[in-house]
Amino acid sequence: MGLPSRHHTRSRVNKRRSHMALNSRIFIKCPHCGRKILPHRVCPYCGYYKDKEVIDVFRGLTKKEKKQKEKDLQQ
Ligand SMILES: [Zn+2]
């Protein structure tokens, strides 16, 4: 079995890991509801993609939740 032949300093390890940081995600504005969403994805708030309704966001919600969601979408 191979063993590391040299000690890796903390500095060396940290320098290597300096390239592993995650970038902040890019957001676009939903053309239908105007919220910040990820590009090339269906809007999770209004269910629209390219000016068409793709998913029904009210499905499986109670009457109260539905009312609240409708209110949120109007803003
Ligand atoms: Zn939207």
pTM over 0.75: no
Distance 40 CA to ligand 1 centre (A): 12
Q: Which helix (H) or strand (E) covers residue 10, if one does?
A: helix 10-17
Contact between residue 36 and residue 28 where contact means Cβ atoms under 8 Å apart = yes
Instruction: Say yes or no to pLDDT of 69 above 90.
Output: no
Q: What is the pLDDT of residue 7?
A: 92
In terms of phi and psi (left: phi > 0; alpha: psi -120 to 50; beta: otherwise), the region of 20 is alpha
Distance 42 CA to ligand 1 centre (A): 8
Distance 23 CA to ligand 1 centre (A): 24
Q: Which helix (H) or strand (E) covers residue 67, if one does?
A: helix 63-74
Q: Which helix (H) or strand (E) covers residue 29, if one does?
A: strand 28-29
Q: In this predicted model, what pLDDT tens digit does every residue of 3-52 receive, in sequence order? A: 888 999 999 999 999 999 888 888 999 888 888 999 999 998 888 888 88
Strand partners, 62: none
